[in-house]
């Protein structure tokens, strides 16, 4: 996934797992995830702490975040400067940032500094939005196939029947694979890769189901709860693709909603389809065996990071 995202964003081919661009970008994402976890920093649930000086005991998080910010600035500027140089000397490969840099109309009215800052942020967001989320979805897929072997058998039977045994799927085959498509919908619902939506600020006063939402309020969608609404998805803990045979059952809103909906949803969804079906076309995912040859029953455990009062 990281290879595809770097190619898409910068037109850059990663040079293995130790590629410096990949290493620094991955560290930036890791630090970012750690920063927004509520239980990691008190300031996440007591915003007024941001005004405390660094020298106050317990404010060491400010120094930590300053270090992370410096690392992030280096991580996002290095690949951006790389693609800028390739555009300048005419050797840039097709990419999102390369295309924008070659068409001044796309950033007319922006100063060079603002343009560079916006494009640096765009590059890291393409990587972040497509790498960790898609990879997490595939990890969840493997877990589902181990826990629900009957679903795996049905999916592989559909692939063999429609495409032929051993035939690798293409995106053009998708409309002919209804069970696979329902399985992907259920995968997104069963374990949403972003259980809590990205916070957004309300830009005007609003009322939602009797709740007053004042301009400036921060709104965070609880996608996990939506995916487990038993009125919409009976037996929500069960991995059941057949629930989507009912046309009245809506897909889970894992890509967001409204004008803030994920702009990369089609790319990400297609990537999951290709990788998932390719795995099922070649492999059968089985439970691990212990030293005596007996199957080990896996257990799904969600990593906790929250504050309970």
Find which of 23-32, 170-179, 295-304 is predicted with most confidence, using mean pLDDT: 170-179
Nearest CA to 169 out of 290, 307, 299, 279 is that of: 279
Q: How confident is the model at residue 119 (pLDDT cuts 50, 70, 90)?
A: very high
- DSSP letter (8 states) at residue 303: P
Q: What is the pLDDT of residue 308?
A: 40
| 227 labelled ligand-binding | no
- Burial of 97 by CB count in 10 Å (0-12 exposed, 13-18 middle, 19+ buried)? buried
| Each residue's pLDDT tens digit, 191-229 | 998 888 888 888 999 998 899 999 999 888 899 999 999
Lowest pLDDT segment from 58-62, 74-78, 145-149: 58-62
Check residue 214 and give its pLDDT. Answer: 94
CA distance 203 to 190: 32
Mean pLDDT of 178-183: 98
The model's pLDDT over 276-290, given as tens digits with 9 standing for 90+, comes to 999 999 999 999 888
pLDDT per position as a tens digit, 229-238: 999 999 999 9
Strand pairing report for 200-201 and 218-219: antiparallel
Segments making up each domain of the chain, as ranges: 1-131, 148-309
* Residue 169, burial from CB neighbour count under 10 angstroms (0-12, 13-18, 19+): buried
Torsion of CA 138, 140, 146, 151, to 10 degrees: -80
Least confident of 20-34, 35-49, 81-95, 275-289: 35-49
CATH of 148-309, one of 3.30.450.20, 1.10.630.10, 1.20.1330.10, 1.10.10.10: 1.10.630.10
Q: Among 17-21, 197-201, 238-242, name the one with the lowest average pLDDT.
A: 197-201
Q: Is 303's pLDDT higher than 80?
A: no
Strand positions, DSSP E, 27-148: none
Q: What angle do CA 242, 255, 187 make, to 5 degrees?
A: 30
279 by Cβ neighbours in 10 Å (0-12 / 13-18 / 19+) ranks as middle
d(CA 84, CA 106): 15
- Predicted confidence at residue 40, as pLDDT, reads 80
Q: What is the CA radius of gyration of the chain?
A: 22
Strand partners, 211: 208
CB 180 within 8 A of CB 270: no
CA–CA dist 48, 159 (Å, integer): 55
Q: Quickly state the pLDDT bin for 309 (edges 50, 70, 90).
A: very low
pLDDT at residue 38 above 90?
Answer: no
């Amino acid at each position: 996934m990281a290879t595809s995202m770097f190619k898409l964003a910068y037109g850059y081919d990663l040079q293995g797992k130790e590629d410096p661009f990949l290493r620094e970008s991955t560290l930036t994402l890791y630090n970012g995830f750690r920063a927004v976890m509520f239980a990691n920093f008190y300031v996440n649930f007591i915003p007024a702490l941001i005004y405390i000086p660094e020298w106050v005991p317990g404010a060491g998080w400010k120094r930590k975040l300053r270090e992370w910010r410096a690392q992030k600035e280096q991580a996002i500027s290095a690949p951006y400067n790389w693609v800028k140089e390739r555009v300048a000397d005419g050797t840039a490969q097709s990419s999102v940032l390369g295309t924008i840099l070659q068409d001044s109309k796309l950033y007319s009215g922006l100063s060079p500094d603002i343009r560079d800052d916006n494009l640096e942020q765009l590059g890291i967001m393409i990587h972040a939005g497509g790498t960790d989320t898609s990879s997490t979805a595939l990890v969840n897929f493997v877990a589902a196939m181990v826990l629900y072997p009957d679903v795996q058998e049905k999916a592989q039977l559909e692939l063999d029947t429609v495409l032929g045994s051993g035939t690798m799927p293409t995106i053009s085959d998708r409309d002919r694979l209804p069970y696979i498509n329902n399985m992907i919908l259920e995968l997104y619902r069963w374990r949403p890769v972003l259980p809590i939506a990205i916070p957004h600020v309300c830009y005007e006063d609003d009322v939602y189901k009797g709740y007053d939402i004042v301009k400036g309020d921060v709104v965070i969608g609880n996608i996990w709860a939506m995916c487990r609404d038993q009125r919409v998805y009976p037996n929500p803990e069960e991995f059941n693709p057949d629930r989507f045979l009912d046309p009245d059952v809506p897909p889970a809103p894992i890509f967001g909603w409204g004008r803030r909906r994920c702009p990369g949803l089609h790319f990400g969804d297609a990537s999951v389809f290709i990788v998932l079906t390719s795995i099922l076309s070649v492999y059968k995912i089985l439970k691990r065996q212990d030293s005596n040859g007996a199957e080990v029953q896996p257990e799904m455990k969600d990593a906790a990071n929250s504050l309970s009062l």
